[in-house]
A and B are shown apart, each in its own frame.
Chain A
Amino acid sequence: MTERIRESLSATMDGEADELELERVLSKIGDDTELRRTWVRYHSIRSIASGQSVDEETFPDVSQRVREALAAEVRPAAAGSLQRVLKPLASFAVAASVAATVVIGGQQLAQINEGGEPREAVASAVVGVGSPVGLINSTGATPVRASYGNQAVPVLEPAARTAYRELARQRMHKYMQEHAEHAALNAPHGLIPFARVRQIEE
């Protein structure tokens, strides 16, 4: 691992990475074990320093946490500080396994229901497409598809996850104005969509 990638990793963690640095981390993280280890080390140090157990996620990337939790259980109690960070994840694993069951159930449901759902027919009529891979029906409302199923939903290591979150934030700023130009013509409140743009550019 070069000094350069180490710096990129550190910048990514602090939310200060520029586009090049993010890409560097994302293209290397897949096959660089040392990079991943460094990430875990940085992460636990920072978590302890800031007094938080795990960073709050709105994003449902459960499987990686489950794996981390299981790994923490098996590992001998050498790294006491690291364990303290990972401990809350163990209870998370139980909830996650329940969630996994629900997802499998949804997939079976989707196969049974294939083609027989009236609202899906409306949605598919737009472009005419294949079958869903998952259904979520948490509110009793019309079931919605959770994934279209062209691509496997990726499981990310924490480093890549943070890098991607940062990438999504940067893309939001980069594309918001162009999105607003079209929203302003097609949404009911006129030029107001431009108020969502952080920095208007000429």
Chain B
Amino acid sequence: MTGLICKGWTAVLFFCAVVAAVGSGQTMASECKMEGSDAMHWLAKMSRGSHRVDYHGVVTFQRGDDMQVMQISHAITNGSSTEQMTQLTGQGAQIVRQNHPLECVHPGHHLLRADGETSAGGCGITDHYRLQVDAGERIAGRKAMRIRVDPLDMYRYGYIMDLDKETGLLLKVQTIGRGNKVLERFQFASLSLGTNSKAAANPELVHKATHPVVTESSAVAVPASRWAIQWLPGGFTATDSQQGAHSRRTYTDGLAVFSVFLERLPKKIKAGEGVARHGGTTSYTRGMRLKGKPVLVTVIGEVPLNTARMVADSLSWTY
């Protein structure tokens, strides 16, 4: 297990648990498929580009009939990035992440940057998705490359990603569900490279994005060591070290992310399950008894219902 300390992030020291995979020393490069290597190269460029390029612009985010418009900016100073997203529609909130060190690379981006074999001995993204590079259309006035990302199993969604030819920036991404249905769509409407001279629109509220491992869930805390997920779809890895008392776990395969929340209930509840969906997000809630104790398990993420259900189903106490 390798760890990396992300220093200088606001006033607090955070332990940035990077790469949960164990470096087993296995070499499987020769067995990794070559067909997706060009696309893999683009995904790595996208991941680096999104962190190392100064840009600002306007993006749209669409889910069904609902469309939001946001202003986005990203700037690098002294080896760390500052990013900002201001909603121009709806609530008008602003999300800010300041002084995030460039060397603080989170597990999702590690998976995207793994060219060829990963430290865990697999082939990374290409074990679970079929990648294909196509000519892209013009987006926000920029020439784009298109990458089709098709899942190899039914535990995850597909994507159509358009990347900026020059910088690798993600200009547009469509999340594709069953039957080629577009579940949500994110896209730049305008993009300028370089730093933003204009101040963002007046936000109603400013939220500083958090960084692991310090977030506290509002739910009744359950020490992490006392529960475990027994099953994960292939390729998913934990996003943080999850030390200390935690009632949440988050997992990613580099493209999709889901979180599991566990609540201990004070009294018994009728066992059952319920689902809510919005765009590409599934919220699956399950009331059950674990070793006689009533709990509520919720899986929220951009994964199909079956995946969320299987994960909830595999939860168990470990003590």
Q: Which residues of A contact B (CB under 8 A)?
A: 23, 26-30, 58-59, 119, 122-127, 129-130, 136, 139, 141-142, 144-151, 153-154, 156, 160-161, 163-169, 171-172, 174-176, 178-179, 181-196, 199-202
Contact = CB atoms under 8 A, between A and B. Distances in A.
A122 B83 CA distance: 36
Contacts of B309: 147
Contacts of B226: none
B272 A192 contact: no
A189 B300 contact: no
Contacts of B310: 145-148
Interface string B185-202: 010000000000000000
B93 A200 contact: yes
Given A122-B127, A154-B273, A191 B209 contact: yes
Given A148-B230, A186-B257, A194-B95, A161 B272 contact: yes
Given A142-B153, A181-B210, A186-B257, A172 B232 contact: no
Contacts of B254: 186, 188
B203 to A, nearest CB: 10
B165 interface: no
Counting from the closest, the 8 A-B pairs by CB-CB distance are A186-B108, A164-B274, A172-B283, A168-B274, A200-B93, A148-B313, A169-B276, A182-B250
B230 A188 contact: no
Contacts of A127: 228-232
A151 B313 contact: yes
A187 B154 contact: no
A144 B273 CA distance: 20
Contacts of A199: 91
Contacts of A175: 217, 248, 259, 261, 283, 298, 300
A196 B235 CA distance: 24
Which range holds the interface residue count of chain B? 35 or more
A178 B240 CA distance: 13
A186 B239 contact: yes
Contacts of B108: 185-188
B138 interface: no
Interface in B14-69: 43, 46-47, 50, 59, 61, 63, 68
Contact of B273 (A164, A188, A200): A164
B278 interface: yes
Interface string B153-195: 1110000010000000010010000000000001000000000
B269 A171 contact: no
Given A58-B277, A151-B288, A187-B257, A168 B298 contact: yes
B10 interface: no
Contacts of B207: 194, 200-202
Contact of A188 (B61, B112, B272, B281): B112
A200 B269 CA distance: 30
A26 B314 contact: no
B54 to A, nearest CB: 13
B302 interface: yes
Given A58-B277, A175-B283, A178-B261, 12 more contacts: A136-B154, A139-B154, A147-B310, A160-B272, A165-B274, A168-B275, A184-B209, A186-B254, A188-B46, A188-B108, A194-B93, A200-B207
Contacts of B302: 183, 187
18 contacts: A29-B270, A59-B274, A122-B122, A122-B235, A139-B154, A144-B155, A148-B231, A154-B288, A156-B273, A161-B274, A165-B276, A171-B276, A187-B257, A188-B47, A188-B112, A190-B50, A190-B74, A192-B70
B274 to A, nearest CB: 3
A196 B279 contact: yes
A167 B233 CA distance: 25
Given A136-B154, A182-B212, A190-B83, A123 B91 contact: no
Given A119-B153, A126-B232, A168-B283, A154 B278 contact: no
B23 to A, nearest CB: 16
Given A129-B314, A136-B306, A189 B173 contact: yes
Nearest to B252: A186
